[in-house]
Structure 1
Amino acid sequence: MPKLSVIVPCYFNEDNIPVTVRELIANESRFPLGIEFEYVFVDDGSRDQTLQALLTARRQYPDRIQVVELVGNVGSYNAIVAGMAQASGDCMAIITADMQDPPELMVQMYQYWQQGFKLVIGNRQDRQETGLSKRMSQLFHWLMKHMALRNIPDGGFDFVFFDRQVRDEIVRMQERNSNIFYLMVWLGYSYVNIPYVRRKREIGKSRWTLQKKLKLFIDSLLSFSFSPIRAISVVGLLLGVTALLYGVYVIGLRVFAPQGPAGWTTLMVVVLFVSAFQMIALGIIGEYVWRGMDAARSRPLYVVKQVYDASNHSEK
């Protein structure tokens, strides 16, 4: 029977860990007999008691739970790559530590994997959350679907089940400043999409700040779309045509109405508009250049401080 590795990134989740572990272990009974389970929890530089809670859980289930302690906070997606690199399963799943995604859905995902699908996506058909956070998430995924990757499911996703072959490709690529879930779709494997309603968070407070959400949107858009650069070209062309027409108008005004108004206000508006566009264009180009430089430096996505596995204190 195959081995299933469940990767769980953790950041300030000390109160979630006991509940998360309990639900994941209980979920094993829903799978066919004989499957081997492995849980890879990655502590992404938490400064609370998350690591201690994970080590306590590992002492309860030493044959199932591995804990990867990173030196510092590198972001959820890089922490996931660290967990993927450590995982040894034939198939793998990624789930958040706050249990907003239903672990029982992994059973259906596993069945699709057995049918030969390399990637199974659980996408958020709806969310129990309300307010601005829900609206921003919907807008983010709508923009990504229409501007970058048209083959991603509606509603967004970060709950996936995939084959070891997909894992090998993601770990090999070491993509930085990107979206690891969109990267799985970008690889081109046929996938199955399972819609579900995401639960409201019951324990703890989300550390997914507005700043992090904006960075994720910029990273995702620039990683999978040339739309920003194309938009600069289109707007530049339109401004060029407008400038030409305005030049013809000014010349005509000079020839046929030499005593007409000087047009200082109009001139200032045009100068300010063009200057603003140039600064925005430079900013977008700078984002691309910085990402190219960041990739060229080849710095590691993460640094592992210690791995707590079957040997208890194996350092890697």
Structure 2
Amino acid sequence: MPKLSVIIPCYHNEANIPLLDTELVANKSLFPPDVDVEYVFVDDGSEDGTLAALHDLRKQYPRQVCVVELAGNVGAYNAVVAGMEYATGDCLAVLAADLQDPPALLVDMYGYWKQGIRLVIGSRQDRPETGLSRLLSTSFHWLMRRFALRNVPAGGFDFVLFDRQVATEVLQMRERNSNIFYLMLWLGYPYVNIPYVRRPRRLGHSRWTLAKRIKLFVDSFVSFSFLPIRLISVVGMVLGTLALLYGAYIILMRLLGSPEPSGWSSLMVVLLVVSAFQMLALGIIGEYVWRGLDAARNRPLYVVKEVTEPLS
């Protein structure tokens, strides 16, 4: 009997757990009768009643629900890695606890996996976002497709079903400060993309802050692209060429006896531009160096406080 493990990272999702209960139970009836489904809930250091709600859910479904309690908040992507480690299915899926991604799509994704597709992606064809949030998301995915991973779906994704082999390879990498879903693409397996429209959040408010979005962008771009380092070299060469040309111009004016260009303001503008570029370059190099240091320290991605496994 094939087994599907659905990993659901939870952070301050107390109000959504009862809705998850209803939707997941209803969704289970859509799968073929020979499919065994387990749900791996990972509490990412929630400070509300999320953990208690998860344990209440497990009491209702002791053979299907696994609860992984992390010691502290490590971020949704590291929580997904923790869920992958404790999932026991032949294939695994990641589902958001806020139910903005439709669980019913898992049935179609599972069907592709049965056909031998090791990676099935649900990409966002549209999303309930407006203004700055929508602009940032669109820009992020365009930059990733243009300069990092060419096979990233246009709308981005974090709703995915993948084979046990993919999970094993990602766990072996133990990569930190990265994008767990883009790592799956980086492996190079052909994938099927199922576009869908993301639903509005029903309860609570998103914890996906602007600071977290910026960190995700930096982590993703630095992990999968050398463009920032290459840009430093290109801009440095351009500034160096301009400096040589300007120096040659000054020497030529001196040899011809013409008055040399003067002006404190212009000198300060050049100095400020070059200094700003140097500081930016140091910041970009520092991002790469810091990631090397973080990897060398080899600290764990997460600390598991307690695991309540399904009854056999």
Smaller-chain TM-score range? over 0.9
Residue of structure 2 equivalent to 1:118: 118
1:252-280 deviation per Cα after TM superposition (whole angstroms, max 9, x unaligned):
22233443442322221111111110100
Distance 1:135 1:102 in 2: 23
Residue of structure 2 equivalent to 1:193: 193
Between 261-270 and 280-289, report the one with greater CA deviation. Answer: 261-270
What is the letter of the counterpart of residue 300 of structure 2? P
Q: Does 2:263 correspond to 1:263?
A: yes
Residue of structure 1 equivalent to 2:286: 286
Identity %: 66
- Tell me, what secondary structure is at the counterpart of 1:69? strand
1:222-255 deviation per Cα after TM superposition (whole angstroms, max 9, x unaligned):
0000000000010011011111111111112223
- Tell me, what secondary structure is at the counterpart of 2:129? coil
- Do the aligned residues in 2 keep the contact of 1:7 with 1:83 (CA within 8 Å)? yes
- Tell me, what secondary structure is at the counterpart of 1:157? coil
Residue of structure 1 equivalent to 2:19: 19
**TM-score normalized by structure 2?**
0.98
What is the letter of the counterpart of residue 259 of structure 2? Q
- Do the aligned residues in 1 keep the contact of 2:69 with 2:306 (CA within 8 Å)? yes
Q: CA RMSD in A?
A: 1.2
Residue of structure 1 equivalent to 2:81: 81
What is the letter of the counterpart of residue 213 of structure 1? R
What is the letter of the counterpart of residue 254 of structure 1? R
Distance 2:86 2:259 in 1: 78
Q: Give 4+ residue runs of structure 1 displaced > 6 Å after superposition.
A: none
- Do the aligned residues in 1 keep the contact of 2:8 with 2:42 (CA within 8 Å)? yes
Distance 1:199 1:176 in 2: 30
Unaligned runs of 5+ in 2: none
In the TM superposition, residue 129 of structure 1 has moved relative to its aligned partner by 2.6
Residue of structure 1 equivalent to 2:7: 7
- Tell me, what secondary structure is at the counterpart of 1:286? helix
What is the letter of the counterpart of residue 130 of structure 1? T
What is the letter of the counterpart of residue 268 of structure 2? M
Residue of structure 1 equivalent to 2:64: 64
- Do the aligned residues in 2 keep the contact of 1:129 with 1:199 (CA within 8 Å)? no
In the TM superposition, residue 212 of structure 1 has moved relative to its aligned partner by 0.4
In the TM superposition, residue 136 of structure 1 has moved relative to its aligned partner by 1.2
1:288-310 deviation per Cα after TM superposition (whole angstroms, max 9, x unaligned):
00000000111000000000113
Question: How many residue pairs align between the two structures?
Answer: 312
- Do the aligned residues in 2 keep the contact of 1:42 with 1:82 (CA within 8 Å)? yes
1:28-60 deviation per Cα after TM superposition (whole angstroms, max 9, x unaligned):
111111211100000000000000010010001
- Tell me, what secondary structure is at the counterpart of 1:15? helix
Q: Does 2:108 correspond to 1:108?
A: yes
